[in-house]
A = this chain, B = another copy of it.
């Protein structure tokens, strides 16, 4: 693919010729009100892909983990994220690092949408969702259990 030199933002957090995609291709009920846009495919030499995700107020991403890391920058609104057993408040331009094999879930807990850039390797493993045993272990921590949406 020949990449255009400039891709304009045409409306807040929408870009010309960048399609608004479903968060997960397989659908599912393990997330709520999330969209995905691929800003840089990362094919030619870069090896990493830059995506923009947006979660509508009250929505959440899938609770999952995987071997590849996520490097995240919040660019719109705020919310909270679970990373391992830690829950962090999120504000504009905060950076979030999700280490390998670490449970994580983003939630849009304010009246604004939560929008973030997420940088990943092009070659990466598939995310895995929790087993009933994983969920029981996570919920043994009451604060984590109250945060989770599943």
Residues of A participating in the B interface, judged by any CB pair closer than 8 Å? 3-9, 13, 15, 39-40, 42, 44-48, 50, 67-69, 71, 73, 75, 81, 83-84, 86, 88, 90-100, 117, 119-121
Give Cα A55 to B83, complex, Å.
Answer: 34
- Bound Cα distance from A85 to B92, whole angstroms: 35
Oligomer: number of copies: 2
The 4 closest A-B pairs by CB, nearest first: A48-B48, A9-B93, A7-B95, A40-B71
Cross-interface CB contact of A119 among B95, B119, B121, cutoff 8 Å: B119
Enumerate 21 A-B pairs (CB-CB under 8 Å) in ascending A order. A5-B83, A5-B96, A5-B97, A6-B81, A6-B83, A6-B88, A6-B95, A6-B97, A7-B94, A7-B95, A9-B91, A39-B95, A40-B95, A45-B100, A46-B48, A46-B119, A47-B47, A48-B119, A48-B121, A73-B117, A75-B75
Separation of A6 and B96 alpha carbons in the complex (Å) = 5
Contacts of A39 in B (CB 8 A): 71, 73, 95
* Residue on B nearest A73 in the bound complex, by CB: B39
Q: What separation, in Å, do the CA atoms of A50 and B97 have in the docked complex?
A: 12
- Chain B positions within 8 Å of A94 at CB level: 6-9
